[in-house]
Amino acid sequence: MPEGPELHLASRFVNQACRGLVFGGCVEKSPISRNPEVPFESSAYRISASARGKELRLTLRPLPGAQPPREPLALVFRFGMSGSFQLAPSDALPAHAHLRFYTAPPGPRLALCFVDIRRFGHWDLGGEWQPGRGPCVLLEYEQFRENVLRNLADKAFDRPICEALLDQRFFNGIGNYLRAEILYRLAGWPGHEGGWGAPHSPLLSMSPFTPCRLRIPPFEKARTVLEALQQHRLSPELTLSQKIRAKLQNPDLLELCHSVPKEVVQLGGKGYGQESGEEDFTAFRAWLQCYGMAGMRSLRDRHGRTIWFQGDPGPLAPKGGKSHKKKPKGAPRDPEDRMEDPLPPSKPPSRTQRARRGLPEQTTAQPPEGTSLQQDPEVRPVSEKRKMKGRRATSGCRRPPKIKADTPSLEPEGTSAS
């Protein structure tokens, strides 16, 4: 899933690819997309992009003298599970190109396309960032840090730190792979000595001048982890260069929320994603230290998202949750191990194959409107999946099992045998 670094890399791609290009005509939307039409037409305009957290703003700016005269238009994109931008010849558009901006003549006609295989991406007209999202962890670090530490009384911080890191009101840009890498870099390095903390913190027990080993489980209470940072002070006796070196060598959790995404941006390419070029994805895989890596453990949080970690899961780990450890490549694995591995999206049957099998036409689900920012907003919660499963079970599509008249049911109505 695209996270903050992928949105920033996408904005960089758009600015580089569209530099020197002049676009013209109408903006074209695919008929199957449920996103709004883009009522924009100009004989000559340019396109630029900027990103903030998990959102990207595209600005269409008419050139002087362009017809008809009109004001610039801005759109804000959220990429969902698979969104990206591609520049392609107009006669060879990529599949799933749901919004297209065409270049003006002369020259070969190109199209800047918003491509979204799974159709969970969304765009809004007007150019306003989504209300309620916090400062960007990449571009607004000081505001981001202040926003978190000022709001530690919020009930979001009653939850495990791994779940709080997905709350876009406070950690705008952090997603599933980033939270695993951030917590691992803070707690998972053998021999790693962490930053300067409060002497009375249960997690950071040390003097103001003594480095300590940090061990923060993913299911430790978020407020317990972050309250120590409110007293985070370096000794005034240190010189400026010593303070800078201390921060670089011993970053705290919030500093890692800034520096770890920045590392992904510095890799270049497109970051995380199966649709990325082989070279891009190879560099990203080499950068990963925890997410989906052999030897790491995994658990599902209360939203159904898999968190990868090393060591003890922590006191707020799900009751009855079974931790799985990913085995090295080539080692024999049981079915439960395979279920925990990140899998590429399965390819649905083609229209011809469905017709031959007598299957109904397949439609792609759209994300619900007004999704809460308190979890990673592009992922459907587990409870909603169960509701949909329940709807299918009661819709008449499946015939209920026959029960003999003299055999009473062993389960209350509406319960599952699984």
> DSSP string covering 337-387, please?
HHHHS--PPPPPPPHHHHHHHTPPPP-PPPPPTT--TTS-TTS--HHHHHH
Q: Residue 22: which of 56, 48, 2 has the closest Cα?
A: 48
pLDDT at 167: 97
Residue of 2, 5, 218, 313 with catalytic role = 2
Q: Residue 271: which of 46, 6, 68, 89 has the closest Cα?
A: 6
pLDDT at 216: 84
The residues with which 300 forms a beta bridge, in sequence order, are 306
Is 54 an active-site residue? yes
Q: How far is 250 from 255, CA to CA, in rounded Å?
A: 9
pLDDT tens digit string along 272-295?
765 555 566 788 989 999 999 999
Enter the tokens of residue 33.
């997309």
DSSP per residue, 150-216: HTTTSGGGGSBHHHHTT-TTTSBT--HHHHHHHHHHHHTSTT--B----TT-SS----TT--B----
Residue of 5, 6, 28, 54 with catalytic role = 54
Residue of 3, 28, 181, 220 with catalytic role = 3
Residue 140: what residue type? E
pLDDT at 352: 62
β-sheet with 83-89: strand ranges across: 28-29, 97-102, 110-116, 83-89
pTM comes to 0.73
124 close to 76: Cβ distance less than 8 angstroms: yes
Strands, DSSP E only, in 22-109? Answer: 23-26, 28-29, 41-52, 55-62, 73-78, 83-89, 97-102
**Residues whose CB falls within 8 Å of the CB of residue 373, separated by 6 or more in sequence, listed in order:** 130, 132, 133, 167, 168, 169
**Residues whose CB falls within 8 Å of the CB of residue 162, separated by 6 or more in sequence, listed in order:** 179, 183, 218, 219, 301, 307, 309
Q: Helix axis angle, 141-150 relative to 253-267, nearest 10°?
A: 150
Enter the tokens of residue 338.
């395979």
Is 221 an active-site residue? no
DSSP annotation of 228 reads: G
H or E element, residue 407: none
Is 3 an active-site residue? yes
pLDDT tens digit string along 29-64?
999 999 999 999 999 999 999 999 999 999 999 999
**136: buried, middle or exposed (CB in 10 Å: 19+, 13-18, 0-12)?**
buried
Q: Which residues of the chain have pLDDT under 70?
A: 187-215, 231-249, 273-280, 327-372, 375-418
pLDDT at 369: 43
